[in-house]
Amino acid sequence: MPRFAANLTMLFNELPFAERFAAAKAAGFSAVEYLFPYDFDKAMLREQLVRHGLTQVLHNLPAGNWAAGERGIAILRDRVTEFRDGVFRAIDYAKALDCRQLNCLVGIAPADIDPRDLDEVLIANLRFAATALAAENIKLLIEPINTLDIPGFFLNRTEQAVRLISEVRSDNLFLQYDIYHMQIMEGDLARTMEKHLPRIAHIQLADNPGRHEPSTGEINYPFLFRHLDAIGYGGWIGCEYKPRTTTLEGLSWHAIQAFET
């Protein structure tokens, strides 16, 4: 049956960050994910996880200057040292939080740089990160993201991610499949997830349009949850959506209970 993780960047965001762990547990979640831990003390985050019996299932590698609009630096040749320093910073946090998966946001492609150069830098950086993470028994993930929400994002389709995984030639690089992003970019969700199931280490969800909770848009989530069970997906599903009202009211779709009964 599906296992759901609360994305604390987007859910319960009416609360101070440290209070969102308790709220997630009270709402029935047993796991959490969020974009970045780096603004917070590792000991505080660890204490919240332990106190509330939560598993940290995912966070991202450092992704440059987020406030200034950067969405990753892994494709940028002049930021390689910064990227690789960030890999070790991420490992430090992941070990403290017992987080076994880290996602690499690859970045927005500069208009004046040949995509082949961006690809070359990305492959080298992913190979470096996959090797460093493997030494700590942590999986490296890459995530295709739609180009409506993030115009110019370099990695935006499943087959592109699969090609990168093949070219990196590491058994420690996996696909993070976000149903919302891929519904916008390519559709054919059920068949794509089944085709690439061995490469998929993590799934995220939101409905479309609006990026709200399941049952608010065009995606048939009850069917997809049954499909994921049928094909044997055993990983977590991160609830990375924007509640239409409050998080608790948005849980009326009640995946946490509805698909365990």
The residues carrying an active-site annotation are: 143, 240
Q: Contact 144/103 with Cβ under 8 angstroms?
A: no
Enumerate the H helices of the chain as residue ranges: 20-26, 42-51, 80-97, 115-134, 158-168, 179-185, 189-195, 221-231, 247-250, 255-258
Q: How far is CA 223 from the centre of its chain?
A: 22
DSSP assignment of 138-183, as one string? -EEEE----TTTSTTBS--SHHHHHHHHHHHT-TTEEEEEEHHHHH
